[in-house]
Structure 1
Amino acid sequence: MQQRSPGAARSRATSATRTRRRAAAGALAGATVLALALGGALSAQAAPSPKGQEARSVDINLFTVNDFHGRIEQSGTAAGIARLASAVDHFRAQNSNTVFAAAGDMIGASTFTSFIQDDVPTIEALNAAGLDVSSVGNHEFDKGFSDLTDRVMPLADFEYLGANIYDKATGEVALPEYWLAKFQGVTIGFVGAVTDELPSLVSPSGIEDITVGSPVDAANRVADELSDGKKGNGEADIVIMLVHEGAATTSVESATDPNSRFGDIVLNANDNIDAIVSGHTHLPYNHVIDGRPVISSGQYGERFSNMEISYDRATKSITKMENTLYTMATAFDANNNVTAWLYEPDPEIVPIVSEATAIANELGNVVIGDASAAFNRAQRPGIVNGAPALVENRGGESTLGNLVADVQLWALEADGTREVDITFMNPGGLRADINAGETTYREAANVQSFANTLVTLDLTGAQIKGVLEEQWQPAGASRPFLKLGVNEGLAYTYDPTAAQGSHITEIFLDGMALNPAATYSVGVNSFLASGGDNFVTFRDGVNKADSGKIDLEAMVDYFETFDTVSPDYAQRAVGVDVVSVAGGQATVALSSLDFSTTEPKAGTVTVSFEGGDITTVAVDPSFPDPATFDEIGRASVTFAIPAAATADSRFVITTPTGTSSSFTLPL
């Protein structure tokens, strides 16, 4: 019987191989799920091998994590690599037939200690912790394919897999496709793949020599080869898919959504794939779908999974696949600080982390300026450690996103060699907030950890509208909406109820309407310049020039130049939905009048006409449903239409927090 540590959240995926190895998968897994749903103690797991027949049944532990992102230090609920290594040690001590595997993004978007040292400390710590194999994630490509193959992979003692990455020139597979481990005559194989959204998630210039194919097609192809009886192409008794793609929510319905990238993988993985270990969306889930475990351990080493696998050598079948999802933090105080952990730090790993921290502290503790108040990313309601909490919302306007856009415009113009009209910042590039008070180099680096350069390019007004429309992401994207930070001076209105491609209603630059036919100089980071995050219009920009300035360098220079930096609490985008115009009255739904964290709330909004106030109403500061968009701060205004108003008349919107916008009515 397995000894369970406190804090382990258990969900069983007990099954036998489907057509190839699991004849009774559905029955066994279904019985287990039913027993758990009824709160029973019954477990539909394989009986232990009779005494003296241990060699017939071979037991394997599969220890998995994903989306570690260089969190080598303990911080908040992220346990740190030393505690995670102790967890691995614990399971290896119980069963030497243990594989430590991962589903990608082990490096990249890392916290400062690892970031400032090019993630070398993370790779060294994962080596010491005994990581065996990982699929590549999109962040393994942050510095380009050649950096992955020429620097990262040689540093790693573990195998990186990417079966759906192909050489553009030859069409051949460009990364290792599978990795095998053999225990007591039983071989377990791992097939790795990365999301085919990769070209929109990294700088295309860094992956110009490769193409990205379907993850499930590649995994099926390799799984078939590992199961065809031909030893020349590798053979495995058990096949695990490691894929850096994941479900949008923790529900089974999300994991099986046929219109999503992950649903396509789950529904179309063939019978030669026995389990799917996933990542990318940073969510913990522990499903059994069609008799097959489909799991993810969340993010940052906050959790891990251990899958107990039993294989009967006589019948050549899997008799047990039982996954347990463990949470590393096991107790919290009244302020939600962690007070107990599942494992103590591994003393062999601690010196690696300590040395990396000491180097990073020396580099990062330099004060570069002051923030008069916090600059935050947007937030929305979510779940943390099983309790309601606010989590990051990449679909919300933020003081931090707007600050970075302001910084980049300033930095691009600082040397006097160029004039830039508009700058944009992608929310996924904001990885931490800036607290009020002294701002250090480390804080600035934690915000922008990708070392992107700043790029200028020319776009027409019509193309800029296209960029703003692309905030509403295409079907199947990991997030439905990504709110761009924009520079002060750029303001726009949008209709949240409009059809895809028709949301943006008006755009103003320094108070003047943007001319669709005119050309504007635009500044963005190199990720966006290459069309990242599905902002493909940037690829059409002309006169593209890389300034060579790193985004972090720009932020440091900005703080050092201005010493004290203050957030702008004015919304630069406002939702305007003209609900009705009839009987001399108009009703207009306004939204995006508030930020979502500690910023001052608008409280009220006033609509005025030709300098005179028409009406003032209260603004609802609560989170909308769904909260993944930017509609926080809502108000419905109904007013009598002035007799002098025409279709060209402007009705001005103002709030006490500085937001100013306007709209017209279809008169």
Structure 2
Amino acid sequence: MRRSPFQILAAVLLTIMLDPAAPALAQAAPVDVRILAINDLHGYLQPPAGGIRIADPDDKTRKIALAAGGVETMATLVKQLRQQTKNSIFVAAGDLIGASPFLSAMFHDEPTIESLSMMGLEIASVGNHEFDEGVDELLRMQNGGCHPIDKCQGPHPFPGAKFHYLAASTVEKSTGKTIFPPYEIRDFDGIPVAFIGLTLKGTANIVSPVGIAGLEFRDEADTVNALVPELKARGVEAIVVLIHEGGYPTGDYNECPGISGAIVDIVKKFDKAVDVVISGHTHQAYVCDIDGRLVTSGDKYGTIVTAIDLKLDSATRDVISAKADNVIVRTGVYAKDADQTALLASYEKLAAPIADRRAGSITETLSHIPNNAGESPLGDIIADAQLAATQNPTNGGAVAAFTNPGGIRINVTKKEDGAVSYGDLFASQPFRNQLVTLTLTGMQIKNVLEQQWRDPKLPRILQVSNGFNYTWDGAKPYGDHVVADSMSLNGKRIDPAASYRVTVNNYLSVGGDGFTGLKEGLTQQFGVYDIDALYGYFQANSPIGPAAAGRIARIN
């Protein structure tokens, strides 16, 4: 039977409606986006011999360790992970530089910035360690140019970062403006995604006050929530936060049962418009669901790349699903990237003659891990080295030395022959702070020691030189932790009214880590750098082994 024009048109329309591929009426497919993320690289361009040991997530006994780390391997992994999807972006959550091993630190972390730029990093939030050399030096990391004091030391002029730093919560007090843009919007197949960069609010308490003078670190959640209306007005529905703050999980790398820490409360305060949170700072690895949002962290020192896969709704332009996988940067499994190898070789050629200098030897590994009282074998030796460098009246006339535990980063590990190089020592104490000897009364020393508990959840127990002893009681309230009559010097009780010459580093002397009592010290005399004091101590006293603990005692 011959069909009328109306019947033909109806049949055509029905065919279109039933065909899911019909462009006119079909629902647009979701857009897939892959975010690759790292955090807390700390300039670890190369892993130590045998790689950084990281527990095998597939081993439920937690006894098998894998070799991981190194930018040569990371670059290959990043490239492979990016090739698996059309839309991708490589980002970071802070502390890419600072507290770095010798190869990066000698050149003020220029090699690390170059390596990450070459690797294709695009956006990074600012961590607290980005301020280790002050805000002006951080601006140089972004913009390039020679170091103002050491000039151009590298194999070529430093071009600055090709990636963009973001710092939404770091504000100049005088202008109210952020030091870097607060966010960046990227477009994926016509859908905008905003990336907000945050530094932890507590940065001012853990970096040198001099380097951040005039800056304010605002509340993380308040900062993000204030930006949400602005982003929505620009048509953004998908929001990713890069925050240098984190948590402490109890599970494996792709889990997070029982997570605690600052990140939990921060995420719960975020506006519901925030979809994904990429975190750092605590040197942990986790993949979490906190308050309905995906929250990730990728361990430390370049051992993990977090692969985050998003699906974006083409109609609402919002995130409809998000999942993540922490992928281990396995040494020896992925081939080394040739461009990264060439970059490192160009810097190693200049650094090796200094790094390879023999400092001395050790009888066994010197651990930086504190005991129950807060004392560590390596901390003892570093404090002794600083005292030895400043004991002479012409060098300061010090009778005691204190150093901050956060400045001691890794163990000095015993090699087969026991030899220790300048580079080994630098890796354990990488900040290159200048020693300062100053005069304090016995009561001022007591007050400084009490400031170890400014944060009761995270006491910062100073390492003390040989001959100085005291006892502390964890059950006492703030201001009474140190047992007053327990403080002694070479067996003699500290007199609250007497004056003592004490050596600290310049970071502590200006109130770093909250030790503001040291700012009261009189007759300051500057000495050598801490690393040079440690190097000289090893040359004079090797072989060196850990001393018996007991300088610091704990009651509760």
TM-score by shorter chain over 0.5? yes
**1:418 paired residue number:** 396
Q: Which runs of 5+ in 2 are unaligned?
A: 1-19, 53-66, 145-159
**1:569 paired residue number:** 548
> Aligned to 1:112, which of 102, 111, 122?
102
Paired with 2:142 and 2:533, the residues of 1 have a C-alpha distance of 27
- In the alignment, is residue 468 of structure 1 matched against residue 441 of structure 2? no
Paired with 1:55 and 1:357, the residues of 2 have a C-alpha distance of 52
**8 Å contact from structure 1 (residues 399, 567) kept in 2:** yes
Paired with 2:353 and 2:142, the residues of 1 have a C-alpha distance of 24
* 1:43-82 pair list within 5 angstroms: 56-74=29-47, 75-76=51-52, 77-82=67-72
- In the alignment, is residue 356 of structure 1 matched against residue 347 of structure 2? yes
Paired with 2:222 and 2:527, the residues of 1 have a C-alpha distance of 39
**8 Å contact from structure 2 (residues 439, 500) kept in 1:** yes
Paired with 1:418 and 1:51, the residues of 2 have a C-alpha distance of 83
Alpha-carbon shift at residue 248 of structure 1 (Å): 3.4
> Aligned to 1:164, which of 147, 166, 169?
169
**1:238 paired residue number:** 238
Alpha-carbon shift at residue 127 of structure 1 (Å): 0.6
Please list the CA deviations of residues 298-353 of structure 1 after superposition, one character each: whole Å capped at 9, or x if unmatched. 11121121111111222333222111222233xxxxxxxx7x53x32223322222
Paired with 2:224 and 2:87, the residues of 1 have a C-alpha distance of 24
Alpha-carbon shift at residue 124 of structure 1 (Å): 0.9
Paired with 1:127 and 1:190, the residues of 2 have a C-alpha distance of 18
Query: How large is the Cα RMSD of the aligned pairs?
Result: 2.4
**8 Å contact from structure 1 (residues 412, 547) kept in 2:** no
**8 Å contact from structure 1 (residues 103, 242) kept in 2:** yes
SS at match of 1:547: strand
Pick closer, same or farther for the CA change 1:97–1:492 going to 2, 3 Å: same
Q: Which runs of 5+ in 1 are unaligned?
A: 1-48, 230-234, 330-337, 380-392, 578-667
Please list the CA deviations of residues 561-620 of structure 1 after superposition, one character each: whole Å capped at 9, or x if unmatched. 44544542241012346xxxxxxxxxxxxxxxxxxxxxxxxxxxxxxxxxxxxxxxxxxx
Identical columns (%) = 33
Alpha-carbon shift at residue 361 of structure 1 (Å): 2.2
Alpha-carbon shift at residue 153 of structure 1 (Å): 4.4
- In the alignment, is residue 409 of structure 1 matched against residue 410 of structure 2? no
The code of the aligned residue for 2:437 comes to T
Alpha-carbon shift at residue 185 of structure 1 (Å): 0.6
Paired with 2:527 and 2:138, the residues of 1 have a C-alpha distance of 22
Paired with 1:446 and 1:101, the residues of 2 have a C-alpha distance of 26
SS at match of 1:416: helix
Count of residue pairs brought into register by the alignment = 494
**8 Å contact from structure 2 (residues 32, 310) kept in 1:** yes
SS at match of 2:453: coil
**2:493 paired residue number:** 513
**1:324 paired residue number:** 325
Answer 1 or 2: which has greater helix percent.
2
> Aligned to 2:505, which of 525, 533, 541?
525
**1:598 paired residue number:** none
**8 Å contact from structure 1 (residues 247, 254) kept in 2:** no
**8 Å contact from structure 2 (residues 192, 317) kept in 1:** no
Alpha-carbon shift at residue 88 of structure 1 (Å): 1.7
* 1:162-561 pair list within 5 angstroms: 162-229=167-234, 235-250=235-250, 255=259, 261-329=262-330, 341=333, 343-378=334-369, 396-414=374-392, 416-436=394-414, 437-475=418-456, 480-505=458-483, 506-539=486-519, 541-543=520-522, 545=524, 547-561=526-540
SS at match of 1:227: helix
Paired with 2:264 and 2:516, the residues of 1 have a C-alpha distance of 24
**8 Å contact from structure 1 (residues 310, 321) kept in 2:** yes
Pick closer, same or farther for the CA change 1:148–1:254 going to 2, 3 Å: farther
**1:142 paired residue number:** 132
The code of the aligned residue for 2:237 comes to D
Alpha-carbon shift at residue 544 of structure 1 (Å): 5.8
Structure-2-length-normalised TM-score: 0.83
**2:82 paired residue number:** 92
SS at match of 1:187: strand
Pick closer, same or farther for the CA change 1:122–1:97 going to 2, 3 Å: same
**8 Å contact from structure 2 (residues 439, 524) kept in 1:** no
**8 Å contact from structure 1 (residues 133, 159) kept in 2:** yes
Alpha-carbon shift at residue 224 of structure 1 (Å): 2.9
The code of the aligned residue for 1:282 comes to H
Deviates most, 115-124 or 218-227: 218-227
The code of the aligned residue for 1:323 comes to A
Paired with 1:351 and 1:523, the residues of 2 have a C-alpha distance of 42
**2:55 paired residue number:** none
Paired with 1:528 and 1:50, the residues of 2 have a C-alpha distance of 67
**8 Å contact from structure 1 (residues 471, 483) kept in 2:** yes
The code of the aligned residue for 1:141 comes to F
**8 Å contact from structure 1 (residues 457, 522) kept in 2:** yes
